[in-house]
């Protein structure tokens, strides 16, 4: 992939640490020659993110809370000034109260429902409003979702409802921005042990289940996601928009494994 992203500038939002899906994608893009801007949320993450940014030669690093319009505006103002244009953007952000990522969906509170939708869904639309203006030569945008949007998964609850809305917004954004040559896609990643995932009830069991029942008999890594992201973000994905691409070792399409499957 050397040189695949040469001359391209991209913003990657949602880096918390070296376990983040955003990190897998950032590394893949940087290795392919892209110039990157990174955002993280709040001072607490700064000391972890700075050395990672340095490792990739990142020049634009900003604190951004997507629930605050002024904070999002500031990031795009910084990029407008530093770069004047943008070729790609990655939205790897989601949040919900972990007390509601266990037990029953029916018990979701109004406050957490609204907050989860705001941070995990609206934020993608909000950043695309700003990115559109900077993507003067067209562009590619990517967000991250999970199978819990399409099917009921244990403990995923309100996050599943939010991801369903996020996936629908990918399609609406793809139509609105397609005329300007901006492609909008989502990767539906299999379970990966990250900070965000650690808030989900029984997450270790979910990992084990996916490993045992996926066609590849393994879980995916942030680098598997990074490589598929590279396809969607680069010219290799030039004809693809509004797409939901599963990077989950094939788990999403399995109905049931055979009783005599050798490994059960």
The binding site for ligand NAD (CB under 6 A) comprises 14-16, 20-22, 41, 64-67, 92-95, 119, 144-146, 189, 191-192, 194-197
The DSSP code sequence of 214-262 is STTSS---HHHHHHHHHHHHSGGGTT--S-EEEESTTGGG-----TT-T
163 is in an annotated binding site: yes
195 assigned ligand-binding residue: yes
202, 130, 136, 121: which is closest to 166 by C-alpha? Answer: 121
Residue 259 CB, nearest approach to ligand NAD (Å): 29
**Residue closer to ligand NAD, measured from CB, 219 or 241:** 219
DSSP 151-178: S--TTTHHHHHHHHHHHHHHHHHHHHHH
Closest separation between CB of residue 119 and ligand NAD, Å?
Answer: 5
Confirm or deny that 6 is annotated as ligand binding. Answer: no
Q: Which is nearer to ligand NAD, 10 or 94 (CB)?
A: 94
Q: Known binder of ligand: residue 194?
A: yes
* C-beta neighbour count of 110 within 10 angstroms: 7
Residue 21 assigned to a binding site = yes
11 vs 192 by CB, closer to ligand NAD: 192
Q: How many helices (H) and strands (E) does the chain have?
A: 8, 7
For residue 215, give every residue at least 6 positions away whose Cβ sits within 8 Å of its Cβ, in sequence order, or none.
Answer: 249, 250, 251, 254
Least Å distance, CB 15 to ligand NAD, is 6
Nearer to ligand NAD, 22 or 128 (CB): 22
Annotation says 105 is catalytic: no
Does 156 participate in catalysis according to the annotation? yes
Sign (positive or negative) of CA dihedral 72, 78, 83, 84: positive
- Known catalytic residues are 146, 156
Residue ranges for the binding site for NAD(+)?
14, 20-21, 41, 65-66, 93, 163, 192-196
Residue ranges for the binding site?
14, 20-21, 41, 65-66, 93, 163, 192-196
């Amino acid at each position: 992939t050397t040189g695949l992203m040469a001359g391209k500038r991209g913003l990657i939002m949602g880096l918390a640490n070296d376990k983040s899906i955003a990190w897998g994608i950032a590394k893949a893009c940087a290795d392919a020659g892209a110039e990157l801007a990174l955002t993280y949320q709040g001072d607490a993450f700064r000391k972890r993110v700075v050395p990672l940014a340095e490792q990739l030669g990142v020049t634009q690093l900003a604190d951004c809370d997507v629930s605050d319009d002024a904070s999002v505006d500031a990031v795009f103002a910084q990029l407008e000034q530093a770069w004047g244009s943008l070729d790609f953007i990655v939205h790897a952000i989601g949040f919900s109260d972990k007390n509601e990522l266990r037990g029953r969906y029916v018990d979701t509170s109004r406050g957490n429902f609204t907050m989860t939708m705001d941070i995990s869904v609206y934020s993608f639309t909000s950043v695309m409003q700003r990115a559109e203006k900077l993507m003067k030569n067209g562009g590619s945008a990517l967000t991250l979702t999970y199978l819990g949007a399409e099917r009921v998964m244990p403990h995923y609850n309100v996050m599943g409802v939010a991801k369903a809305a996020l996936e629908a917004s990918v399609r609406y954004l793809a139509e609105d921005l397609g005329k300007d040559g901006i492609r909008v896609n989502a990767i539906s990643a299999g379970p990966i042990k990250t900070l965000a995932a650690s808030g989900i009830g029984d997450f270790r069991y979910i990992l084990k289940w996916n490993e045992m029942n996926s066609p590849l008999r393994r879980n995916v890594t942030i680098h598997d996601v990074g490589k598929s992201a590279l396809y969607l973000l680069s010219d290799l994905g030039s004809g693809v928009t509004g797409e939901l691409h599963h990077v989950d070792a094939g788990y999403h399409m399995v109905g049931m494994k055979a009783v005599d499957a050798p490994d059960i």
